[in-house]
Each structure stands twice: as C-alpha cells, then as structure tokens.
C-alpha cells in the first residue's frame, strides 16, 4: 500500500496488500480491522434502538470507544511484526504478544455489546448486531491464537486470551436474531 497507514488507503488497496508476499498486513492487522468493523456494526445497530432506550447512548459510546482502540492496532501490529522479523529482541517479542492480547480483550467486550444489541435492540438491524458479535468472536479466537504462538512458556496471557475467546464465542452464540418477517 502506498499509504503509511492501512486505514488511509482504499479497501481495494488493503485487500490487495493482504495476499502480497510481505509479512504485513498479517493476521493481527487484519483482525484489528475486522474488530473495528465489528464495533462499527454494533454502534450502527445500537443507534437504531428505540428513542426511549436508556442504554442506547451508553452502548453507542462504548462501541465507538472500542472501535477507536482497535483501529490503530492494525498499524501497530504490522509495525511490531516487521520490527520483530528484523530484530528478535525481547522488546519486539513483547509487542507481538501485547497487541493481540489487547485485541482479545477488546473483542470480548465488543461481542458482549453486540449480543446485547442483537437480543434487545431494533429487530430490523439485529442481524447486523449479530454479525458484529460473530466477527468480534472470530477476532478473539485469532488474537488468542497469536498470543499462544508468540508468548513465552508460562505467560499468563495465553490462558487469559483463551478465556476471552471462549467467552466471546459463548456470547456470540447467544446473540439470537429476531424474526422480522
């Protein structure tokens, strides 16, 4: 991509950069972008809640905060992995564990919000909220796997990331979609 950030290029440029013979964007960067989209779907669906909905503003605000946290992790992950490939230092190793761990944490929270919106929000957009839940659950799984691959033996973040992924999978499974017919 010509841009310094994956987020500044076109979707087509991003899609073309993923299969290129380069280490980035890889799984972590792509997961970050997917998580940003999942949080965006959650916020969008929550905005369609009934005007009197007490929690609408809270859920929209939190989904937007999580999206804002996830977005820059795409570039951070790509940079961290590139740095690690250039120099396999302890500092660079820590970054390629810490970033996916943060993705797992954020994803678990996005799934909870999305599942809530899918169950209790406007039935006309419950499928969008459920899609956000499923997408975020997939990110939690990907992130947990990246933590496990890169973390040192005994690193407690491996088990914690697995718990985030399992929790996210359960919450996504509970995101029942209302029948709008």
For every one of its 181 residues, what pLDDT tens digit does the chain have, with 9 covering 90 and above? Answer: 445 787 778 788 877 877 777 776 878 999 999 999 999 999 999 999 876 677 888 999 999 999 999 999 999 999 999 999 999 999 999 999 999 999 999 999 999 999 999 998 899 999 999 999 999 999 999 999 999 999 999 999 999 999 999 999 999 998 866 454 4
CATH class of 11-173: mainly alpha
What is the model's pTM?
A: 0.90
| Number of residues written out for the chain | 181
C-alpha triplet 130, 158, 19: angle, nearest 5°: 60
């Amino acid at each position: 991509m010509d841009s310094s950030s994956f987020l500044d290029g076109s979707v087509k440029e991003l899609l073309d950069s993923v299969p290129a013979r380069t280490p980035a964007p890889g799984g972590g960067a792509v997961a970050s972008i997917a998580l940003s989209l999942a949080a965006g779907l959650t916020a969008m669906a929550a905005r369609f809640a009934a005007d009197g909905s007490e929690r609408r503003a809270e859920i929209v605000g939190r989904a937007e905060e999580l999206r804002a946290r996830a977005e820059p992790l795409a570039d951070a992950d790509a940079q961290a992995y590139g740095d690690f490939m250039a120099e396999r230092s302890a500092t660079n190793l820590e970054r390629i564990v810490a970033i996916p761990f943060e993705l797992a944490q954020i994803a678990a929270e996005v799934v909870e919000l999305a599942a809530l919106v899918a169950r209790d929000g406007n039935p006309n957009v419950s499928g969008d909220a459920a899609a956000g839940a499923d997408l975020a659950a997939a990110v939690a799984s990907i992130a947990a796997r990246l933590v496990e691959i890169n973390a040192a033996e005994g690193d407690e973040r491996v088990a914690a990331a697995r718990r985030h992924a399992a929790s996210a999978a359960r919450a996504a499974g509970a995101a029942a979609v209302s029948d709008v017919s």
